[in-house]
Amino acid sequence: MHAYEAKDLERLGVSTATVRSLIRAGHVRPVSEAGRFHFSFQDLIVLRTASALQAARIPTRAINRALSKIRSTLPHGAPLSARSIAALGKRIAFKQGRSIWEWESGQYALGFEASAKGAAAVKIMHEPQQSPGRAAAEAQFASAYGREEQDPVAAIELYQDALAADPSHTEARINLGRLLHLQGRHQEAEATYRGGADTPALLLFNLAVLFEDLMRRDDAIAAYRQALAVDPSLIDAHFNLARLYELAGEPRAALRHLLAYRRAQRS
């Protein structure tokens, strides 16, 4: 549904130059009606992501390459929120749970922290002494992640093996749930997300996205709210809640979350 206009982009702080650049690159595909562009919610996600990366002084060419990479790894129609993006200085990385992968080099890092200038800096962490089960799970996790793009079915099996070795491996649970979701195995995805003792914000966020695809909007709203309760800095949850409340006919709640999203972007 292409329900958003240029004025909505302005409220989110997206520049006209950014919009034009992403339309030319094919990352945003608005429809034109009566001489005006109308954007889908997925277009807004792409535009918001690109705007945030530009604010981190990442070159437009690098942003376009990264967005092309994301689109090439997601099935048609899958939400871009299945991938979370971070700026590492002037580099781009995917965030999954507490894990960060630099998309060009494939380097894995943990424990990113804010530098004095406010940009994200990577600090390589050495794993503490692991139990045999955890070590096996880490090996399966690394192998699964490396196969996600070329062979998602094999990656699913490897993530399942990782959880069998260590059911507390939250990152494996999050990635497995996401892949099952993208494969259309919705019941298995929900069971995976609900199967752990830990419920980090990203897991709750992904569960909410799953509920949206299943048209379970009340459940999605509840899951997004739970994600924010765990991690108030998860601003995408505010953005999605604003849209869901708008669809539910609750404009005051929608505006409240949209304003919270904008405030968080500026901080």
131 and 194 together in one domain: yes
Please give the mean pLDDT across all residues of the chain. 77
CATH number at residue 7: 1.10.1660.10
136 and 88 together in one domain: no
Where is the domain boundary, 142, 166, 198?
198
Residue type, 149: E
Q: For position 119, what pLDDT does the model report?
A: 34
Question: How many domains, in total, are found in the chain?
Answer: 4
Phi/psi at 71 (nearest 5 deg)?
A: -60, -35
Q: For position 116, what pLDDT does the model report?
A: 30
Q: How far is the C-alpha of 187 from the C-alpha of 210, rounded, in Å?
A: 10
Cα–Cα separations (whole angstroms), residue 211 to 27, 43, 193, 206, 243: 25, 20, 12, 9, 14
Q: Of residues 70 and 209, which shows the higher confidence score?
A: 209
- pLDDT 10s digits, 171-196: 999 999 999 999 999 999 999 999 98
Q: DSSP for 204-239, please give it.
A: HHHHHHHHHHTT-HHHHHHHHHHHHHH-TT-HHHHH
| Count of other CB atoms within 10 angstroms of residue 28 | 24
- Show the tokens assigned to 18: 């950014």
- Per-residue pLDDT band for 112 (boundaries 50, 70, 90) equals very low
- Yes or no: say if 127 and 133 are a contact pair by the CB < 8 Å rule: no
- Yes or no: say if 99 and 108 are a contact pair by the CB < 8 Å rule: yes
218 and 192 together in one domain: no
The lowest-confidence range among 54-68, 97-111, 223-237 is 97-111
Q: For position 179, what pLDDT does the model report?
A: 93
CATH number at residue 251: 1.25.40.10
132 and 184 together in one domain: yes
- Whether the pTM exceeds 0.85: the reply is no
